[in-house]
């Protein structure tokens, strides 16, 4: 019997879990995927600290995830932290509290590790020769460029859907001026070298809650369907249309649009603005949605399935 692994990703906005069976040849069979919005990085740009209520929700979620992993007889449970742990002054204290309450040890990924693992997961089931993978998170946005066997360059932009919402989108719904300020601030953090790389590689594969949410709305899904979301091509015009819908209504109405995950309704605009900014820099007319990302990449690397 092939081993079962559980990968838990504690992010700025959400806590995600993948439980998968992985063959010696690198074939990954998903048994369960979970996502819970805990908003651990709420107001972190202002306070420099992880949110107390978010921490309580995160601990409760991790206990549930640990029990699910045990029920599926996972041989290994690997728990990682991303930008929220790199940014917060109380990151070490939070990691210690999580271990005490749940028994799970949090390994904080470096910026490069986060980008590389997202790349591996995103391209693992797609027939691509060259690609640029974009992972829009709550606290940061990772870019990685490479081919089927080599990751050539990575970049972590310390700005994501949660942090940019907290900084720029104060009104509900947001005004056009605030949206432009958000995009300008995000673009200012991208070097000229990376702007050139975006222009040179327009095969954009995007991962993360923002893009899978956009895909779900575009497909009018009543329940989330990873088989339909993964590999979907979204046109620039489709994404712009959805952004216009979001910006035309207040939070209560946006929650109805995002009925599959209403907890994302307040940050979906910032995530979409990030995506459109990167597409503008690349001159890209479309992106490919990936339902696989960081957790899948970690799982494949654990068994040496990445070259």
- CATH code of the domain containing 149: 3.30.420.150
Claim to verify: residue 96 and residue 133 sit in the same structural domain: no
Domain with residue 35: its CATH number is 3.30.420.40
Do residues 118 and 262 share a domain? yes
Q: Which residues form the domain of 226?
A: 112-289
> What is the structure's pLDDT at 26?
73
Q: Are residues 197 and 141 in the same domain?
A: yes
Mean pLDDT, 10 residues at a time, the chain of 307 residues: 94 98 84 97 96 98 98 97 97 97 98 98 92 98 94 97 97 96 98 95 95 98 96 98 97 96 97 98 97 96 81
How far apart are alpha carbons 26 and 222 in whole angstroms?
32
Pick the last residue of a domain from 108, 131, 161: 108
Same domain, 220 and 159: yes
Q: What is the SS3 assignment for 107?
A: strand
Same domain, 97 and 123: no
- pLDDT value of position 148: 86
- Roughly how many angstroms between the first and final C-alpha of the chain, as a whole number? 24
Report if residue 307 sits inside a domain. no
Claim to verify: residue 134 and residue 34 sit in the same structural domain: no
Q: What is the pTM of this model?
A: 0.97
Identify whether residues 182 and 204 lie together within a single domain: yes
Q: Domains in the chain: how many in total?
A: 2
CB atoms within 10 A of CB 94: 24
Does a structural domain hold residue 295? no
Domain boundary among the residues 108, 126, 144 is at 108
Q: In this structure, is residue 284 part of a structural domain?
A: yes
For residue 26, count other CB atoms closer than 10 A to its CB: 13
């Amino acid at each position: 019997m092939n081993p079962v692994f559980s990968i838990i990703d504690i992010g700025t906005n959400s806590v995600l879990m993948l439980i998968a069976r992985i063959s010696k040849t690198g074939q990954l069979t998903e048994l369960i995927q979970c996502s819970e919005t805990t908003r651990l990085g709420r107001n972190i740009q202002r306070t420099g600290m992880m949110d107390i209520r978010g921490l309580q929700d995160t601990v409760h979620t991790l206990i549930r995830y640990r029990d699910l992993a045990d029920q599926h007889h996972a041989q290994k449970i690997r728990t990682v932290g991303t930008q929220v742990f790199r940014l917060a002054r109380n990151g070490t204290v939070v990691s210690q509290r999580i271990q005490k309450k749940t028994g799970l040890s949090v390994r904080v990924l470096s910026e490069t590790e986060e980008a590389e693992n997202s790349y591996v997961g995103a391209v693992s089931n797609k027939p691509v020769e060259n690609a640029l993978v974009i992972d829009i998170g709550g606290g940061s946005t990772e870019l990685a460029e490479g081919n089927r066997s080599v990751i050539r360059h990575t970049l972590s932009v310390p700005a994501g859907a949660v942090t940019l919402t907290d900084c720029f989108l104060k009104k509900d719904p947001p005004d056009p001026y605030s949206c432009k300020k958000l995009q300008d601030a995000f673009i200012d953090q991208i070097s000229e070298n990376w702007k050139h790389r975006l222009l040179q590689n327009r095969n954009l594969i995007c991962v993360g809650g923002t893009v899978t949410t956009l895909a779900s709305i575009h497909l009018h899904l009543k329940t989330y369907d990873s088989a339909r979301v993964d590999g979907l091509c979204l046109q620039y015009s489709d994404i712009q249309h959805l952004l216009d819908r979001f910006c035309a209504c207040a939070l209560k109405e946006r929650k109805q649009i995002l009925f599959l995950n209403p907890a994302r309704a307040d940050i979906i605009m910032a995530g979409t603005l990030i995506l459109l900014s990167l597409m503008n820099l690349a001159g890209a007319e479309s992106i490919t949605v990936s339902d696989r990302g960081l957790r899948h990449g970690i799982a494949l690397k654990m068994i040496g399935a990445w070259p």
